[in-house]
Structure 1
């Protein structure tokens, strides 16, 4: 295996994504968890750039790193979440978690190491934004619209729950 810049960038971005995910699980303060999640989202956007999916990378940064993160922070503020953390996990739990992650990584590695996928010609690099638009608004238009309605229902439900908690707090 030769060491190329693309491989080095992929490994670096993958490590940032994995470390961000592990920090998300192990940090105790919610705002710090959101920051770790942002690092994970941005590194995944970098992997999309390596895969020549620039449009998807920009959408990843705009939607996930921007909008979803802001919605999470608003949710934290609306629910008046105190920033005190949970008690620290025991050493045995941390070791068990690490072994589980290492076992999963080994299973994935050995599962794809000798995988022989035949090479098929594709035109992914040519007008990939147009291809995404055509597929999204022709073949996948119903799931796209259902997803937008589902997100709207989730947002309205979150607002209703936050207002209900606020009204119950006023009665106390």
Structure 2
């Protein structure tokens, strides 16, 4: 078995994605969790590059690593939260044990699911007009879900503004 640079890049990016996900679950400060999530998003963008889906990699970096992470940070800043850890050490041990068992079970099920998987040998036009192919699929077959998601994001954004305004109005009422 020869080890190629692509294989080493895949292993490195997969390791960063897994470490980012595990850190996301184990860190206690919310801002640190967002940083771990950004590392996971960036490594997934690198995996898209390895799959010759450069357009998806750029969208992953712009939308998820950039916009979603900043929205999460604004949400953290606009809401009240308590960073104190109030669980006992024995609960923390059980939580880590169940987390480890869950990760191992997921890995075993994933391995069993893809061990003898056969995708067939139908030729696919890869590396050719990725953005055009995605655009044709998105705006022909999936235009309704695409528009529904834009409306849902708009409603969520307006809701966040309304919720932040209520807190400001309550604070002003308390001062008077």
TM over 0.5: yes
Once the two structures are TM-superposed, the CA of residue 80 in structure 1 deviates from its matched residue by 4.4
Q: How does 1:6-155 map to 2 (within 5 A)?
A: 6-82=6-82, 84-87=83-86, 89-155=91-157
Once the two structures are TM-superposed, the CA of residue 136 in structure 1 deviates from its matched residue by 1.4
C-alpha RMSD of matched pairs (Å): 1.6
Distance in 2, Cα, partners of 1:138 & 1:21: 34
Distance in 1, Cα, partners of 2:2 & 2:160: 50
Distance in 2, Cα, partners of 1:63 & 1:77: 20
SS in 1 for 2:123: coil
Once the two structures are TM-superposed, the CA of residue 152 in structure 1 deviates from its matched residue by 0.6
SS in 2 for 1:90: helix
Higher relative contact order (CA 8 A, sep 6+): 1
Once the two structures are TM-superposed, the CA of residue 95 in structure 1 deviates from its matched residue by 1.1
Deviations 1:50-87 (A, max 9, x none): 000000000000011011111111111122445x2433
SS in 2 for 1:97: helix
SS in 1 for 2:24: helix
Deviates more, 1:38-47 or 1:139-148: 139-148
Q: Which runs of 5+ in 2 are unaligned?
A: none
Q: Which runs of 5+ in 1 are unaligned?
A: none
TM-score, normalised via structure 2 length:
0.90
Query: How many residues are aligned here?
Result: 171
